[in-house]
Amino acid sequence: MPDIEITEAIDSGVSRRNFIKGVIAAGAAVGSANYMFRGVGAIFAQPTSPGAVERLITLTVNGQQRRVDVMKQETLAMTLRYKLGLTGTKLGCDRSECGACTVLIDEVPHYSCSILTQSVRGRDVRTIEGLAHEDGSLHPVQQAVVDEQGFQCAFCMTGFVMSAVGYLQKNENPTRAELAHGLSGNLCRCADYDKILTTMERAAENMRQA
């Protein structure tokens, strides 16, 4: 069988190898001609409606640029968990009714189950995985959870911690009642609320001292 030399047909600066490296395996549409030949793709160019979205996007998650193939109906929680491997964000109700999926978008708490991933392009997403410092030391809120032994089963924990970080960054010295109100968008089925509030009061103190 004669050797067949395979030459690079794409001159857009995106080689096949880099393209494949850049896309997380699950859901990657590698075979799609539209993506492969983007650089020389004048003949494949289709007129797009204003506001049309592409599936291959770059997200800023925990300070990193992550390239990911995102379906149009995909929620941020789904992308974080199943495409980016960031399973610290939990799905409790998938209906914006429990808070387990809380993440920070531009430092503001949101229910990641109820926002399209396509809506957070160009915004800063911060999850529980992005709280600890590079040297491994914990965020003041995380340290407070450890010190106060907050949470029981801890399924709600990551959502509460993200809500607390977002809230305490805006109000650094809340009363217990204000804190309860600030965290009111998170539920705990273990009913650990009293201990959680104590934990987050400690967290506020840690943040004031940091």
Residues that bind another protein (CB under 8 A): 49-53, 71-75, 78, 91, 93-97, 99, 102, 108-111, 114-116, 118-119, 163, 167, 182-185
How does DSSP assign 93-154, residue by residue? SSSSSS-TTEEEETTEEEEGGGSBGGGGTTSEEE-GGGTS-TTSPPPHHHHHHHHHT--SS-
Least distance (Å) between residue 160 CB and another protein? 12
Is the Cβ of residue 14 or residue 116 nearer to another protein in the bound state?
Answer: 116
Cα gap 89→92, rounded to integer Å: 10
For the CB of residue 75, give the shortest distance to another protein in the complex, in Å: 8
Please, which residue, 19 or 84, has the CB nearer to another protein?
84
CA dist 210 and 90 (Å) reads 28
Estimate the crossing angle of helix 157-170 against helix 193-209, to 10 degrees.
Answer: 40
Of the pair 69, 74, the CB lying nearest another protein is at 74
Nearer to another protein by Cβ, of 19 and 103: the residue is 103
- Quote the least distance from Cβ 184 to another protein, whole Å: 4
Spatial separation of the C-alpha atoms in residues 48 and 169, rounded to whole Å: 41
Cβ 76 to another protein, closest distance in Å? 11
Is the distance from CB of 206 to CB of 144 less than 8 angstroms? yes
Q: What does DSSP say about strands 56-61 and 124-126: parallel, antiparallel, or unpaired?
A: parallel
Q: How far is the CB of 45 from another protein (least distance, A)?
A: 19
Q: Which is nearer to another protein, 73 or 209 (CB)?
A: 73
